[in-house]
């Protein structure tokens, strides 16, 4: 590292209860590190401590502070970090999903000097050059010129995922905290950009996001193996599971086959976790992924109602899905089906269809979420149309979005019944999931995980809410 290089501080504000490696910032750092000194600070999984952050920032003394921001609880955390950075006269740049959707409103906040829209590898480099006084193309950014906000249109150039350096895992402080077990740790690896689909609730379905993230791309599966080997060399603990789930991983049969072939050829005998669509899977593919080490798969069902399936743009064949689910479980792969309760315009009858469907389709875990509106998605727009959501008129107003417990119901199911069914089913599902997890750990000889899950498991179901809403009856 050249000491004369300018310093860039990249910060993940994260959320209090989730510790997760700052993948987006590591991707950015990988392309910046030969031109700038990069420091990454990840405050996820901890309380924001302003005193400590100020000390960190003073001792690093960066030229620019870049912050990754999601909608919801990370916003007040990111604002506090920005306040400290401005107190120290730093240039503050926000990137990530929230400023990508709402660049103008984000920039109205005086603490933020610029935003990067969509993927940052190319645009952030241009923005840095701009702040170094060079004349550059600023497509895909938003800046303030003499107090006036200027948003530049999407760039035409997108990252070629197989040509960029591997994410900068070696720049993380205390990497072992992301791999806490002696063995059998899992590593999350991001292999895609954009999305080929357009699900109603998803950030990726927004046409601006589609435009700024560019066409759907998926990296060569060999990269995941390279990344795995690189990170294994950095931690004292053993990583044995590759988590390539992301938003969606197995998008087609051809890609899935190639992924399995590469894993088999690697000789590493890794276990892997993935996310797919019911439409992509059949018996042959399930057998193939099982034989190449797939231990867990997440599949979005979202609803048992045909109308909601259509509204959501997922449109899975509900009868066929039951056969596929049975086959997945027969092959010993841990099956996680996901559902949303309270889709915009959902009726009580449609909610009942989902509840009945959950009873019909097998799974090891049913991950049920109450629909939480996210800006820029088709569902969000529909919720506005139906007067179910009040759109915040400033940045701070988004802090409660995506959060369970703000009692928002955008569906046509009566509030009492929606919340009662959600808490009731989650209560029982989480116990059912816990038992299945323990069985899975035992079957696979994962003693440490079994014990840890036994001692440290924290059910996240809300007992108080369950008891309070218990009396609202579905029938």
The length of the chain is 475
Please tell me whether residue 74 binds ligand B12 under the rule CB under 6 A.
yes
Residue choice 73, 140, 373, 378 for contact with ligand B12 (CB under 6 A): 73
Instruction: Work out whether 200 is an interface residue with ligand B12 (CB under 6 A).
Output: no
d(CA 291, CA 274): 14
Nearer to ligand B12, 209 or 263 (CB): 209
Residue 13 φ/ψ, nearest 5 degrees: -70, -30
Sequence-distant (≥ 6) Cβ neighbours of residue 323 within 8 angstroms: none
Q: List the one residue from 77, 90, 223, 372 that touches ligand B12 (CB under 6 A).
A: 372
Rule CB under 6 A: say whether 77 interacts with ligand B12: no
For ligand B12, which is the closer residue by CB, 92 or 294?
A: 92
Which part of the chain contacts ligand B12 (CB under 6 A), choosing from 21-29, 291-299, 336-344, 467-475?
A: 21-29
If the CB atoms of residues 188 and 362 are measured against ligand B12, the closer one turns out to be 188
Residue 461, CB-side half-sphere exposure with 13 Å CA sphere: 22
Nearest Cα residue to 276 out of 326, 321, 220? 321
Query: CB 265 → ligand B12: shortest distance, Å?
Result: 26
**Per CB under 6 A, 93 contacts ligand B12:** yes
Residues 392-411 that bind ligand B12 (CB under 6 A): 402
Spatial CA neighbour of 2 closest among 39, 37, 38: 37
- Token pair 């609202």 is found at 472
Question: Contact between 66 and ligand B12 (CB under 6 A)?
Answer: yes
Which residue from 40, 42, 43, 72 is in contact with ligand B12, where contact means CB under 6 A?
Answer: 72
Q: Which stretch binds ligand B12 (CB under 6 A): 71-79, 263-271, 312-320, 334-342?
A: 71-79
Stretch that binds ligand B12, among 91-99, 304-312, 352-360, 407-415 (CB under 6 A): 91-99
Is residue 247 within the footprint of ligand B12 (CB under 6 A)? yes
Distance CA 248, CA 195 (A): 8
204 binds ligand B12 (CB under 6 A): yes
Within 96-135, the residues that bind ligand B12 by CB under 6 A are: 96-98, 101, 116, 119-121, 124
CB of 205 vs ligand B12, minimal distance in Å: 8
Which of residues 24 and 304 has its CB atom nearest to ligand B12 in the complex?
A: 24
Kindly list the residues in this chain that would bind ligand B12 in the complex (CB under 6 A). 14-15, 18, 20, 23-24, 27-28, 44, 66-68, 70-74, 93, 95-98, 101, 116, 119-121, 124, 190, 202-204, 246-247, 369, 372, 374-375, 402
């Amino acid at each position: 590292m050249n000491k004369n290089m300018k310093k860039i501080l990249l910060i993940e504000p994260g959320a209090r209860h989730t510790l997760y490696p700052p993948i987006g910032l590591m991707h950015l750092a990988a392309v910046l590190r030969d031109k700038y000194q990069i420091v990454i600070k990840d405050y996820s999984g901890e309380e924001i401590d302003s005193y400590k952050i100020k000390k960190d920032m003073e001792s690093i003394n960066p030229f620019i502070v870049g912050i990754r921001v999601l909608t919801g609880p990370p916003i007040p955390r990111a604002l506090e970090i920005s306040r400290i950075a401005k107190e120290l006269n730093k240039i503050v740049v926000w990137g990530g999903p929230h400023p990508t959707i709402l660049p103008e409103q984000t920039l109205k906040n005086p603490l933020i000097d610029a935003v990067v829209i969509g993927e940052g590898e190319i645009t952030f480099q241009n923005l840095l050059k701009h702040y170094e006084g060079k004349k550059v193309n600023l497509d895909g950014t938003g800046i303030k010129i003499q107090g006036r906000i200027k948003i530049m249109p999407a760039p035409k150039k997108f990252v070629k995922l197989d040509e960029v350096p591997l994410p900068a895992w070696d720049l993380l402080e205390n990497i072992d905290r992301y791999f806490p077990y002696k063995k059998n740790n899992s590593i999350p690896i991001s292999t895609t950009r954009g999305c080929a689909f357009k699900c109603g609730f998803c950030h990726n379905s927004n046409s601006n996001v589609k435009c700024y993230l560019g066409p759907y791309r998926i990296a060569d599966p060999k990269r995941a193996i390279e990344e795995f080997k690189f990170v294994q060399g950095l931690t004292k603990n053993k990583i044995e599971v590759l988590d390539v789930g992301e938003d969606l991983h197995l998008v087609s049969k051809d890609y899935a086959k190639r992924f399995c072939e590469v894993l088999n050829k690697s000789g590493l005998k890794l276990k892997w976790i993935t996310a797919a669509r019911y439409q992509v899977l059949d018996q042959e593919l399930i057998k193939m992924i099982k034989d190449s080490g797939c231990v867990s798969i997440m599949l979005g069902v979202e609803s048992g109602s045909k109308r909601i399936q259509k509204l959501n743009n997922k449109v899975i064949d509900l009868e066929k899905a039951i056969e596929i689910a049975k086959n997945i479980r027969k092959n010993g792969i841990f099956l996680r089906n996901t559902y949303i309760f309270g889709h915009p315009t959902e009726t009580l009858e449609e909610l009942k269809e989902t509840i009945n469907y959950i009873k019909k389709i097998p799974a090891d875990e049913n991950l049920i979420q109450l629909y939480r509106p996210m800006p820029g998605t088709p569902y969000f727009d529909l919720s506005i149309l139906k007067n179910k959501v009040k759109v915040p008129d400033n940045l701070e107003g988004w802090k409660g979005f995506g959060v369970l417990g703000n009692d928002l119901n955008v569906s046509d199911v009566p509030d009492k019944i929606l919340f009662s069914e959600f808490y009731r089913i989650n209560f029982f599902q989480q116990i059912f999931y816990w038992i299945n997890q323990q069985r899975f750990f035992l079957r696979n000889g994962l003693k440490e995980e079994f014990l840890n899950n036994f001692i440290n498991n924290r059910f996240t179901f809300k007992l108080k809410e369950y008891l309070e809403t218990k009396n609202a009856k579905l029938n």
